Amino acid sequence: MTQELSNNWFLDKESDTKWILHRVRRHLAAFRTRYQAVELLDTYDCGLTLVLDGRVQSSQLDEHIYHEALVHPAMLAHPEPRRVLILGGGEGATLREVLKHPSVRQAVMVDLDRELVEFCKEHLKSWHQGAFEEPRAKLLYQDAFKYLRRPGPKFDVIISDISDPTEGGPAVMAYTREFFQEVRERLSPQGLFVTQATEALMSPHEVLSVIYRTVKSVFEVAECYVEYIPSFVCLWGWVVGSRMHRPSALSAQELSRRIAQRGLKLRFYSPQMQQRLFSLPPYLQGRLRRQRQVATAQEPARVYGGQR
């Protein structure tokens, strides 16, 4: 299918009352794995776009913003991350960013969905850029929660890049206290955990602050940060948890030093961006402060996902 489609639109429902229509140039793939529906679109505004279960997962336009923001604050806050665990992250771009840190001896990536990962290996080369082939990378096709609960080695950094906790979707458990407790067990004492944490909304239906509160209920330190991701058409959030390290505590000078020392080549992240990301708008600060809800296996948090 090499011809541009005539007048075809992907409808991304941010809510029942706010819809984004992306005009689609080409449909490159659509299939169902054992776990989820996968589409690869080429949109006019965002280029190649991976859609999982009807939601934009990442796009050629700005996947580097999302993935650098996910990986580097936690990785840089650790003085010398040697062993890193990635949960989810099928596109391979999280792995790509992790492996930029030369101290990393091994990066274990645990993704449930073999078919998705194999599709990404073949079709999203600009995402993974060969990271899967690195000897330091180890790829396991397992359920993240099961992997965490089995005895195993500790990690310096654990990065959760699992899709949103949509009602009825497979990812709901990955945003509960029980999950974060298992993560904590598998972190070395100096270790840091970071998870993508859904959209930052001004509305009361917002889930980011629940994830923040839940991480905070498990870890001594919890920090939230946000950035605008054009292909998501919204402000996106991440949450870090650790026993002792606080990414925002690093001065710009120290960050610069670590970036230089590690020889990181980054397109988006920088000490200046770190300042930007961790400076939360007051409406978010307020929510984080006031939120009391902790997500549990019994009462998980769930983002809007109706009517897709």
Instruction: Give the residue numbers marked as catalytic.
Output: 161
Min. distance of Cβ 118 from a second copy in angstroms? Answer: 15
Report CA torsion sign: 247, 253, 258, 264. Answer: positive
Per CB under 8 A, contacts with a second copy among 146-185 are none
In terms of Cα–Cα distance, which of 66, 54, 156, 179 is closest to 106? 156
Please tell me whether residue 296 binds a second copy under the rule CB under 8 A.
Answer: no
Q: Is residue 4 at the binding interface for a second copy, with CB under 8 A as the rule?
A: yes
Instruction: Confirm or reject binding of residue 53 to a second copy (CB under 8 A).
Output: yes
Binding residue (CB under 8 A) for a second copy from 79, 152, 153, 281: 281
Q: Which helix (H) or strand (E) holds 140?
A: strand 137-140
| Per-residue interface string for the shown chain with a second copy, residues 241-280, x marking contact by CB under 8 A | --------------------------xx-x-xx-xx--xx
Stretch that binds a second copy, among 44-52, 91-99, 124-132, 137-145 (CB under 8 A): 44-52
Q: Which of 26, 82, 123, 136 touches a second copy (CB under 8 A)?
A: 26
253 in helix, strand or coil?
helix
- Residue of 173, 233, 296, 305 interacting with a second copy (CB under 8 A): 233
User: Cα separation of 234 and 279, whole Å?
Assistant: 17
Stretch of 108-116, 120-128, 182-190, 281-289 lying at the interface with a second copy (CB under 8 A): 281-289
Please pick, from the candidates 35, 42, 43, 50, the single residue that binds a second copy as defined by CB under 8 A. 43
DSSP-derived pairing of the beta strands 155-161 and 187-199: parallel
Contacts of residue 120, Cβ cutoff 8 Å, sequence gap at least 6: 50, 90, 91, 92, 127, 128
Is residue 289 at the binding interface for a second copy, with CB under 8 A as the rule? Answer: no
Among residues 194, 174, 185, 180, which one has the least CA distance to residue 278? 194
102, 230, 249, 289: which one contacts a second copy (CB under 8 A)?
230
Regarding 123 and contact with a second copy (CB under 8 A), the answer is no
Question: Applying CB under 8 A, which of residues 24, 124, 162, 294 lies at the interface with a second copy?
Answer: 24
Give how far Cα 215 sits from Cα of 42, 100, 127, 128, 181, Å. Answer: 36, 27, 28, 28, 9
The one segment of 54-62, 84-92, 110-118, 171-179 that binds a second copy by CB under 8 A:
54-62
Asked if residue 75 lies in contact with residue 259, where contact means CB atoms within 8 angstroms, the answer is no
Binding positions for a second copy, 190-219, rule CB under 8 A: 201-203
Question: How many residues make contact with a second copy (CB under 8 A)?
Answer: 64
Residue positions counted in the chain: 308
Q: How far is the CB of 38 from a second copy (least distance, A)?
A: 7
Shortest approach of a second copy to residue 284 CB, angstroms?
11
Tokens of 50: 């991976």
By the 8 A CB rule, do 95 and 58 touch?
A: no
Which contacts qualify for 38-46: CB closer than 8 Å, 24 or more apart?
A: 38/115, 38/116, 38/119, 40/119, 40/123, 40/124, 41/10, 43/10, 45/230, 45/231, 46/22, 46/230, 46/231
User: Residue numbers of the site for a second copy (CB under 8 A)?
Assistant: 1-13, 15-24, 26-27, 29-32, 37-39, 43-45, 51, 53-54, 61-62, 65, 201-203, 227-228, 230, 233-235, 267-268, 270, 272-273, 275-276, 279-283, 307-308
